[in-house]
Amino acid sequence: MEFFWYVVLMGILAVYIVLDGYDFGAGIIHLFFAKTEKDKKAITNAIGPFWDANEVWLIAAGGVLFFAFPTLYASSFSGFYLPLMMILWLLIFRAIGLELRGQIHHPMWEAVWDKAFGIASLLLALFFGVALGNVVRGVNLGMVTNGVSTQEAHFFFLPLWNPTFSPQANQLGIIDWFTLFLGVVSVIALMIHGANWIIYKTNSDLNPKLRTLVFKLNFVLSGLVIISLLIWNRIEPEPFHNFIENPLLWIFPLLCFTGIFGLFRVRTFKKEGLGFLFSSLFLVGGFAATAASIFPNVLPSTNTVNPSLTIYNVAADNYGLSVGVYWFAIALVLVITYFIIQYKVFSGKMDDVGYGEH
């Protein structure tokens, strides 16, 4: 049952990355490239009916984590308390930036909330990449100092950064050069993803520029992915051992690189949804490959005193996990039904939705 719920959790997170990822990317595009009111409205129209529903998947992931892996929930929510609060406030400012902008039609008012929406989207994309970097790198479980565990084996707490800014320091921080690098990868990937969504859902004057932007950014993304693999080989002595032991796992890196190669043809696509499909393949493939590389660990330990947290030593009782399957099946049917109706109602171009107008 532990493996089943692990797949469910990773699946929910992958859906969240794809759906809310284009929201974040659209916000970054809004911040840097939307110069006219028409461009700004096109972007907010593209995501307006979807963004709040997309965040349901983040709540669902938290619920599954709390139910199926309570020890991991307790450990991560205490250890990552500071960045989680920062993410919460960024989600709030991003939401109110969208909702409050149209309440008063004044240039200063609109400019403030435009910046709130764009900057929050940029920082969220960065912070979620940093968060993934922390999980991949691992943490000092038990707060080991001089070879002695000073806390319970599953407990840790990280400051925002450490003095050395190194991912291999004894006392780690949330932000170091490795996690920040993955944050930059996240920003570039979600910019591409958001641009592809805008192209798919609007007839904006920005679309030709966005196609060129996606093409150029894809070169940057390709280089960053290659560098990240080299860096990962430095952080983890045997980064590909799971792929060697189980060759079926290579399907995830294959999906990731299929997405990258497909995006190089974005300027020639006749069907505008193909760009979004390929950026989705990259995100899902990259996330799944990352999860597969550290499996069965869900939070590696950087010391030798306390073991890493795995899906087996953080899971709830097997009886509870089994009973939860029935409720999960009901919830899944309801959520899928809702999303099918939502995306059917708002199918096609969104230029005339008029989101946020009062």
Statement: residue 238 has pLDDT above 80: no
DSSP code per residue over 246-299: -GGGGHHHHHHHHHHHHHTTGGG-SSTHHHHHHHHHHHHHHHHHHHHHHTTEEE
pLDDT at 358 over 60: no
HSE-CB at 201 with a 13 A cutoff on CA atoms is 28
Going by pLDDT thresholds of 50, 70 and 90, the confidence category of residue 357 is: low
What integer is the mean pLDDT of 18-43?
A: 90
Query: What residues does each domain of the chain span?
Result: 2-345
| Average of per-residue pLDDT across 346-355 | 76
The percentage of the chain sitting over the pLDDT mark of 90, rounded to a whole number, equals 35
Which tens digit of pLDDT belongs to each residue from 92-118? 988 888 888 877 877 888 888 889 999
Tokens of 165: 């800014």
Looking at the predicted structure, is the pLDDT value of residue 259 above 90? yes
Residue 355 banded pLDDT, cuts 50, 70, 90: low
> Burial letters for 212-227: b for 16+ Cβ neighbours within 10 Å, e otherwise?
ebbbebbeebeebbee
Averaged pLDDT, 220-245: 86
Check residue 167 and give its pLDDT: 81
Determine the pLDDT at residue 53: 85
Which H helix or E strand runs over 124? helix 107-137
Residue-wise pLDDT tens digits, 292-325 = 988 888 988 888 888 889 999 888 888 888 888 8
Q: Is the pLDDT of residue 170 over 90?
A: no
Nearby residues of 81 by Cβ (< 8 Å), 6 or more positions away: 157
Mean pLDDT of the chain: 88
